[in-house]
Amino acid sequence: MLPPVEPYRIKTIEAIKLLSRAERDAKIKEAGFNLFNLRSEDVFIDLLTDSGTSALSDYQWAGLLTGDEAYAGARNFYNLEATVRDIFGYKNVIPVHQGRAAEHLFFSNVVKKGDVVLANTHFDTTRANIEHLGATAIDCCIETEIKEEHPFKGNMDLNKLEENIKKFGREKIPLVIMTVTNNSVGGQPVSLENIKQTKKLLDKYEIPLYFDACRFAENAYFIKQREKDYENKSVKAIAQEMFSHGAGCTMSAKKDGLSNMGGFFACNEDELAEKFTNLLVLFEGFKTYGGLAGRDLEAISRGLQEVLDENYLSFRVNQVAYLGERISSLGIPIVKPTGGNAVFVEASEFLNHIPKESYPGQALSVALYRQGGIRTVEIGGMMWAKKDDKSGELTFPKYDFVRLAIPRRVYTNSHMDYVAASLEEIKKDKCNTKGLKIVYQAPWLRHFTVRMEEL
């Protein structure tokens, strides 16, 4: 079987440098064993995130030159508005500087203290924005084992969803969120059948469904590949059908917008759009730029068109699968099947000598940087551990994932081979990888700023 081949030519390069092992050891200690604190120039292969790290195309670069830097009414906004209306189908399109800004402004208008927001899985910023308002975020994703080859592991568990609606009452639930693809459970897709059934259930209780749409094209591609009756439909048509079942969406265009900055909120409800816009003007900027330059708006508009190209999506998904197969062949546990944006390594099984209280996921991220200059992110106990208000004890998630998020159109398959080889070297001497303890943490999203020490 031939390996996935990039459906593009590389015409511009950026030099990257691998620091010596001694330099890497010094850099990670200086960073408090938090990879967010590293300088990018000290990283060889950066798999920290696929957000805002895409390589722009020649079509997008050409669009940057057409940037209309008007304070109000930039022509690039109207290009973006037309593109979003075409793909997503929502009437009101409001740009913001990134996805979490859309979440903040949206939830500030619809969520109040004591509310409950249900989702297949909330991502970290989504959960934090909800909890910051005094509400509760509850995940209702289906339960699967990490090695189970389920085609749609991101699906909503309809029984859990209805149980929570009955438990808390419709009046406490202002909305339900469907995250596509479902990042926190391995970048896993949601089926269109599950979206339809979720919408049907929510209609029964008159609860609106909104999408976290930042990886919508990858999700639509998986539907085309894996769901019956969709193999002959275009990815664009599938995306349009997906969004037809929702009342609106938040979008970080730094993912499937193939852009380095920006996002938007879109909905059909005029009153909600007006409330959102009022806060937008206060916090972000005027409604036709939302804190973005005209050139950024144009890059997003063109990126949303390009991301629907099925040659691109085929390579994108298969490059992730290629890295996953290389790692899995080493006997290192990963989430299967691989998702659309990243390979998720299960660190607590791989580094089974490190207890959960010593953060094996963070320990593996540190080890990867030391071994190969590779930056990744932990999605496990560091990100999700919760302290019980009464006992003060921490409860840890079932899995300690290390996410190897692959930037779009940036790295070649030889880079993927290098990442797998670095994990192989760690495995040879894995008992020398040490656990960590926290010496500083912030009250919100601690994984961004935490400082740690080795045990």
Tens of pLDDT, residue by residue over 30-65, are 999 999 999 999 999 999 999 999 999 999 999 999
Domain with CATH 3.40.640.10 in the chain: 58-306
The pLDDT mean for the chain works out to 95
Neighbours of 270 (CB within 10 A): 10
Summarize the confidence of residues 384-390 as an average pLDDT. 73
Tens of pLDDT, residue by residue over 282-300, are 999 999 999 999 999 999 9
Give, in words, the CATH class of 21-50+310-454. Answer: alpha beta
Q: Give the pLDDT confidence score for residue 70 in this predicted structure.
A: 86
Q: Give the pLDDT confidence score for residue 102 in this predicted structure.
A: 96
> The tokens of 137 are what?
């975020």
Tens of pLDDT, residue by residue over 238-269, are 999 999 999 999 999 999 999 999 999 999 99
Q: Give the pLDDT confidence score for residue 397 in this predicted structure.
A: 85
Q: Give the pLDDT confidence score for residue 441 in this predicted structure.
A: 86
55: nearest Cα among 410, 438, 303 = 410
At 160, the pLDDT band (50, 70, 90 cuts) reads very high
Displacement of CA 8 from its chain's centroid (Å): 24
Summarize the confidence of residues 306-324 as an average pLDDT. 97
Q: Is the pLDDT of residue 228 over 80?
A: yes
Tens of pLDDT, residue by residue over 1-26, are 677 889 999 999 999 999 999 999 99
Domain with CATH 3.90.1150.10 in the chain: 21-50+310-454
Please say whether the structural domain 58-306 has been given the CATH code 3.40.640.10.
yes
Q: Give the pLDDT confidence score for residue 71 in this predicted structure.
A: 87
Tens of pLDDT, residue by residue over 420-440, are 999 999 999 999 999 999 999
